[in-house]
């Protein structure tokens, strides 16, 4: 599978939330610092190489977004969807370990269940290397 490609300037205030979001969400991506591009990795974004038009993200399917929002990134990853039903039996807010477990059990009992997560699925557990029970 191809990785996302993220191009930008490391100390720009726009790049940190994007890199943080991708890391917390365990999205595999390549980071290209265009200020130190000795190998020419950023050659494909020369038309976007403008301080007012960065960062640039390229998705595996070739779609390119200039100065993306986190919502645009999540939409292009297929993570933001419209609710299937107008009404649900159970709404769960937070897709950490407890929320994910509750959603699975509720759905397995036949309840119309919706799970809403503001940031990264799995919560802190999704990015922890060791979880003690």
Residue 106 sits in which domain range?
90-126
Indicate if 36 and 62 belong to the same structural domain.
Answer: yes
Is residue 64, in this structure, part of any structural domain at all?
Answer: yes
Indicate if 57 and 20 belong to the same structural domain.
Answer: yes
- What is the SS3 assignment for 102? helix
Cα(69)–Cα(72) distance, rounded to whole angstroms?
Answer: 5
| pLDDT grade for 10, boundaries at 50, 70 and 90 | confident
Is residue 28, in this structure, part of any structural domain at all?
Answer: yes
Cα(48)–Cα(122) distance, rounded to whole angstroms?
Answer: 34
Q: Select from 76, 98, 114 the last residue of a domain.
A: 76
Unique residue bearing structure tokens 């407890």: 98
**Whole-structure pTM value:** 0.71
Question: What CATH number is associated with residue 28?
Answer: 3.40.30.10
Q: Are 64 and 56 in contact (CB under 8 A)?
A: yes
Q: pLDDT per residue over 32-47, tens digit each?
A: 988 876 555 455 555 4
Indicate if 68 and 100 belong to the same structural domain.
Answer: no
Nearest-5° angle of CA 74, CA 127, CA 55?
A: 40
Q: pLDDT per residue over 47-69, tens digit each?
A: 444 545 789 999 999 999 999 99
Q: pLDDT per residue over 73-82, tens digit each?
A: 999 998 888 8
């Amino acid at each position: 599978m191809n990785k996302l490609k993220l191009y930008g300037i490391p100390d720009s205030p726009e790049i940190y939330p994007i890199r943080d979001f991708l890391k917390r969400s365990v999205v595999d991506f390549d980071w290209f610092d265009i200020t130190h591009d000795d190998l020419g990795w950023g050659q494909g974004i020369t038309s976007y190489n403008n301080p007012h038009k960065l960062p640039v993200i390229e998705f595996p399917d070739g779609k390119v977004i200039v100065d993306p929002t986190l919502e645009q990134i999540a939409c292009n990853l297929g993570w933001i969807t419209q609710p299937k039903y107008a009404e649900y039996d159970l709404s769960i807010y937070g897709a950490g370990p407890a929320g994910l477990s509750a959603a699975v059990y509720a759905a397995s009992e036949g309840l119309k269940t919706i799970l809403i997560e503001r940031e990264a699925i799995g919560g802190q557990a999704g990015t922890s290397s060791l979880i003690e029970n």
